[in-house]
Amino acid sequence: MFKKEIIWREILFQAIEKKKNKFTQKELSAKFKFSLSTVFNSLKVPRQVGAVEVRGRFFTILSIEKLLAVWATQRNLKKEIIYKTRLNLPVLKIEGEMPDSVIYTAYSAYRLKFKQAIADYDKVYIYAEDLSEVKKRFPFKKGQENLFVLKADKSLLEYGKIAPLGQIYVDLWNLNEWYAHDYLEALKNKIF
């Protein structure tokens, strides 16, 4: 994941889940140990489309929806996949046998976060920093994959067992299963 995506995820987490609307570039730089120029550059496109407004030493979110759209269209989820396999198990069994260290996203994250499934799903997407335990529990098998492991960056681990809503949103946006649209629409209703 690019540094700008890590910054966007944090801004969206704060705006959506913590209701914080005002930030300084310096606080984001310090939190992630990124240069101020990296933070400044991450705000260029959001500024151009009117998602954020920079004023002096701080900036504010003008449109969560626009910032989500910027991130979703620039996200390359397929590039982040570090392991995939076929499991002859129902998704609830797959999710239940996951190591404690994984972070759920997409359909599983929505179901776990909101205690409901919008539609039946047959694929599990997770983030993991270390693949060894996942591979031990779910060895590689040929066939139509239904478990996808994405590379977790260190800062994602700070959000807990379920990815933040902004991350779930952009991940769903980038999936092409027919039910991804239903989950995305339901998540929009939760966010906006």
**Pair 49, 129 in one domain:** no
CATH of the domain at 21: 1.10.10.10
C-alpha span between 35 and 29 (Å, rounded): 6
**Pair 164, 90 in one domain:** yes
pLDDT digits (tens, 9 = 90+) for 124-154: 999 999 999 999 999 999 999 999 999 999 9
Mean pLDDT for the chain?
97
Q: Select from 74, 103, 120 the last residue of a domain.
A: 74
**Pair 94, 185 in one domain:** yes
Q: Would you say the C-alpha torsion 12, 70, 153, 91 has a positive or negative sign?
A: positive
**Pair 7, 63 in one domain:** yes
Please give the tally of structural domains in the chain: 2
Q: Which residue range forms the structural domain that includes residue 49?
A: 3-74
**Pair 173, 92 in one domain:** yes
**Pair 81, 99 in one domain:** yes
- Mean pLDDT across 149-172: 97
Instruction: Record the pTM.
Output: 0.96
pLDDT digits (tens, 9 = 90+) for 7-19: 999 999 999 999 9
**Pair 67, 87 in one domain:** no
CB-based contact 173:187 (threshold 8 Å): no
Q: Select from 23, 52, 74 the last residue of a domain.
A: 74
What does the angle CA 76 – CA 82 – CA 84 come to, to the nearest 5 degrees?
A: 105
C-alpha span between 86 and 109 (Å, rounded): 20
